[in-house]
Structure 1
């Protein structure tokens, strides 16, 4: 197991896939671009919300400048009103692993990385009627039906994860933990990739979260919300984009813009805290990079030059 305080340079080899995980606003996309520019490769999205074609600004999807620098995949390719799971993502990413272009897989959704490197059980899809029933239940009720083993494996503060576990149990009669224990082999075992988790101090990250949300507002996030307002449905997975609920509430006259901004920043910081907890618990076999003090030129050793 790597030492979390290991200061040795991380070796990046052109033909080896790179995985970059970390909390929101920690600089994952910038690092992926740096590697792609230095050595080549295709940047592949592993974020659960950046897959949707709505909320480009609020989900921090790559903009035109980034897309011009390196090839990107699995960004904005799913209609905003459609469901999308780790299973969907795994099926979408599978053919990209078989192509000649080295993938640089980046995102903040731990479940996607877990599915990729440890495998994912083929759980039957949840019927619409059951999902509608689950949508009406509060978090406490959903949790009360889950077994202790399943509760120990999920973020019990993340309603989407808890509801998913409840739906699996209700639909199949088997707990999520049971399904996970019969998981098939992974598409990309961890030993076949360079896996990096960005670790950032809370105070440093809080400043970046605030600055980034203000930049989103400056770039037109409120206009983006206005464009989404006619089709707004809080039950869509894409509506979980942090800031979406708050900006929609502002447009509906339910809160001021300052109140919406403050609420969105707080929600983003809370989400980052949950992400840090997840990665510290689940990514003990990944190289940990203290991003707040990292000197990129000294942190990475690029082997064999650029990849063509």
Structure 2
């Protein structure tokens, strides 16, 4: 990489099955890069097929970082991912390589590029008390409590999103203020001072949905059911993120004999399409100044991105 590329970071985001990983692989090869994962599920061990992690051939071609580095019993926050990502970016710079951050977790990308509000720490007694209420009374009761105490956050969150409901209540009880208010008051600043070029791969919806359906069938052929059986054998807390990865709940129902494989496939494909739609909305509305490419992975798309990156590295 040319010396002018120092302190430059290329980000390639997009919905699931958009072709962003293949694009990132070509970009990294073209510009002497290192690929750094920005997918909240690919960070966990044990689910390389279900989460579509890079293949051994991909990893032999280009260095990949932050894939399958955490135990599935753990939970990776945006803040923890940001810390690990910055370490990998600095290593790439030190080696004279271009960091290519890629994934579909928009919150991770937003955290890196724009920063997140630095909220006060939550005391252990408050955190434990809120979590205990959640375990004893259930998510419905906790959500009702949030809506009564903090209507703005109640309207913002999904009724069964236990993790974020707990977080909102913890912040409210710690600070006396709504998380929504604090996020407006505390302006985020990126931790890493760098120049970012953010590209979003967003194929037309009919093509994207077709790719989502095809991807799930490929996963089944490559051993997704065996991975989910192994995950089931670990007897993890059902609330941990790895248990909610795309396709896992549906395949768990199949493994447990609660549904047929055809029913699991149909439901998983539907959920994947819905998730991809939400990702598209996020990238359009929450990421500042991305270059959106309304096309699927192709040689011409890569050539277009190469030209933009060359100019970016020279500025």
After TM superposition, the score normalised by the length of structure 1 is 0.84
The residue aligned with 1:239 is: 243
The residue aligned with 2:77 is: 85
**CA distance in 2 between partners of 1:203 and 1:61 (Å):** 24
2:53 matches 1:61: yes
The residue aligned with 1:106 is: 102
The residue aligned with 1:296 is: 301
The residue aligned with 1:285 is: 289
2:29 matches 1:25: no
**CA distance in 1 between partners of 2:297 and 2:241 (Å):** 35
The residue aligned with 1:194 is: 197
Which residues in structure 2 correspond to 1:223-234 (within 5 Å)?
223-232=226-235, 233-234=237-238
The residue aligned with 2:38 is: 46
Deviations 1:93-143 (CA, angstroms, capped at 9, x unpaired): 122232323211111111111111221233425735533534621385376
- Contact (CA 8 Å) 1:52, 1:78: kept in 2 or not? yes
Output the aligned Cα RMSD. Answer: 2.7
CA change 1:129–1:195 in 2 (3 A) is same
**CA distance in 2 between partners of 1:36 and 1:110 (Å):** 20
Question: Shift in Å at residue 284 of structure 1?
Answer: 4.9
- Contact (CA 8 Å) 1:197, 1:283: kept in 2 or not? no
The residue aligned with 1:8 is: none
CA change 1:36–1:122 in 2 (3 A) is same
Partner secondary structure for residue 40 of structure 2: coil
**CA distance in 2 between partners of 1:61 and 1:167 (Å):** 34
The residue aligned with 1:9 is: none
After TM superposition, the score normalised by the length of structure 2 is 0.82
- Contact (CA 8 Å) 2:53, 2:67: kept in 1 or not? yes
The residue aligned with 1:144 is: 147
Partner secondary structure for residue 84 of structure 1: coil
| Structure 1 gap segments, 5+ residues each | 1-12
Quick one: which of 174, 194, 197 aligns to 2:177? 174
Which one has the largest radius of gyration?
2
- Contact (CA 8 Å) 2:34, 2:65: kept in 1 or not? yes
Which one has the bigger helix percentage?
2
- Contact (CA 8 Å) 2:20, 2:103: kept in 1 or not? yes
Question: Shift in Å at residue 199 of structure 1?
Answer: 1.8
The residue aligned with 1:133 is: 133
**CA distance in 1 between partners of 2:262 and 2:160 (Å):** 26
Count of matched residue positions in the alignment of Structure 1 and Structure 2: 291
| Structure 2 gap segments, 5+ residues each | none
**CA distance in 1 between partners of 2:67 and 2:164 (Å):** 22
The residue aligned with 2:117 is: 121
CA change 1:171–1:53 in 2 (3 A) is farther
